[in-house]
Amino acid sequence: MKTISGGITRPQGYQANGLWCGIKRSGKPDLALIYSIVPAVAAGVFTKNSVIAAPLVVTKSHLRNHRAQAIIVNSGNANCFTGHFGQVYAKKTTRVVGKLLGIRDTDVLVSSTGIIGKPLPYKKIEGALPLLIKGLNQANGAKAAAAILTTDKAKKEIAVRIKLGGKTVTIGACAKGSGMIAPNMATMLAFITTDAAINVPLLKSALKDAVELSFNSITIDNCMSTNDMVTIMANGRAGNRSIEKEGKDYHIFCDALKYVCLDLAKKIVLDGEGATKFIAVQVSNAATPAQAKKACLAIANSNLVKTAAYGSDPNWGRVAAAVGALGWAVKEEDMKIHFSSFAKKHINIYVDLNLGKCRATVYTCDLSLDYVRINGKYN
């Protein structure tokens, strides 16, 4: 596997564009389109929040046939808790995009991110679509990656190349996320493209496994969003023999997809609202994988642990208290806690539970004064 420059348009057959349509008062880009020149097999993973935004309802419906060709994304407005018209506008957006591209509206996925509870300014989006589509090309992947951001400080992109049966296959991706990040899923969006040929069941399985180890293993503020979405399109333009069963090619593809998702997940944590430290929490020797993950999250979501990291104060008692609060039969003399230097930007916290042989890792950041400032004014 080789990491290469670029993002969502590095795989063969993909184009993108991004621009400002008027949603954001700042004038920053707020509308993006990702397009495959041929229909692609597709899969998605979504937030487990019981309150979900209108675009997720529409996208889930469109993905029932496991096929997609375009993704339209706006930032600055979540189109969530917007009543009947939320879904009307989400569906209307896919219909107009499909008509302008000459494809079926059900092959268009839709996504939104931003402020919850404000009506979507649909007319601004509709008015910008012809120009957005006119600017579609392979060189504009970075413009799309910029247009999906909200409180992010930087774009999040990655592309990798692998060999499958002698053919060069590329996976590209972009993501956004800075705050309101918690597992299931960790507000974040991620869009992945690949020119690999792969069947639907294996694509869905590969995405689910990759998300579990990446976007579902990060937390910034333990606040689950209503709009989280990860989608992948595979258009087969690389010309590899289609992956139809688990085997060497499938495992190579899975490893590359996990790498892409984990890279983006870590970039989200590094760009956490007000973050000054990146923290990896590793729990070992738990009784089950689920127990290891739960212990990781208890530590990573502890405000006392996070503020200790911000203050460069290696307070191991806060870690012990976070694990102890879970109510497990963890003996003081058996639990071992180790830290790397809290004075550095990257911090590792190691906890050995001595309850079994399972382990897990979760990534988080510190909690700073800027987090309160940013979210106190987010409207």
Residue 207 region, left (φ>0) first, then alpha (ψ -120 to 50), else beta?
alpha
Which residue among the candidates 187, 219, 226, 231 is catalytic per the annotation? 187
Highest mean pLDDT: which of 15-24, 148-157, 330-339, 368-377? 15-24
Residue spans of the domains in the chain: they are 2-270, 278-376
Do the domains 2-270 and 278-376 sit in the same CATH topology, yes or no?
A: no
The two structure tokens encoding residue 66: 């496991």
Task: Quote the CA–CA distance of 335 and 358 in Å, as a whole number.
Answer: 14
Mean pLDDT, range 5-14, rounded to an integer = 98
pLDDT, one tens digit per residue, over 125-181 is: 999 999 999 999 999 999 999 999 988 888 999 999 999 989 999 999 999 986 544
Say whether pLDDT at 354 is over 60.
Answer: yes
Distance separating alpha carbons of residues 171 and 367, to the nearest angstrom: 33
- Tens of pLDDT, residue by residue over 41-94, are 999 999 887 778 999 999 999 999 999 999 999 999 999 989 999 999 999 999
Length of the chain (residues): 379
Q: Does domain 278-376 have CATH number 3.10.20.340?
A: yes
- Characterize 107-140 residue by residue with b for buried, 16 or more Cβ atoms within 10 angstroms of its Cβ, and e for exposed: bbbbbbbbebebebbbebbeebbeebbebbebeb
Q: What is the pLDDT of residue 180?
A: 47
Looking at the predicted structure, is the pLDDT value of residue 185 above 60? no
Q: Is the domain defined by 2-270 classed in CATH 3.60.70.12?
A: yes
Q: Taking a C-beta distance cutoff of 8 angstroms, is the pair 108, 59 a contact?
A: no
Average pLDDT of the residues of the chain: 92
277 falls in which pLDDT band (50, 70, 90)? very high
180 versus 189: the higher-pLDDT residue is 189
What H or E segment, with its residue span, contains residue 89? helix 83-101
- Among 111-115, 124-128, 187-191, 193-197, the minimum mean pLDDT is found in 187-191
pLDDT 10s digits, 327-340: 898 888 899 999 99
Specify whether 187 is catalytic.
yes
Q: What is the pLDDT of residue 379?
A: 57
For 179, 269, 272, the CA distances from 279, given in Å and listed in that order, are: 15, 9, 11
Percent of the chain with pLDDT over 70: 94
Q: What is the spatial distance between Cα 167 and Cα 162, in angstroms, rounded to a whole number?
A: 8
Least confident interval from 4-8, 159-163, 370-374: 370-374
Q: Name the DSSP letter for residue 153.
A: S
Tell me the residue ranges of DSSP E strands in the chain: 2-4, 14-19, 31-46, 67-77, 108-115, 156-164, 167-176, 189-194, 229-234, 278-286, 336-339, 346-352, 358-365
Q: Tell me if 226 sits within 8 A of 42, measured CB to CB.
A: no
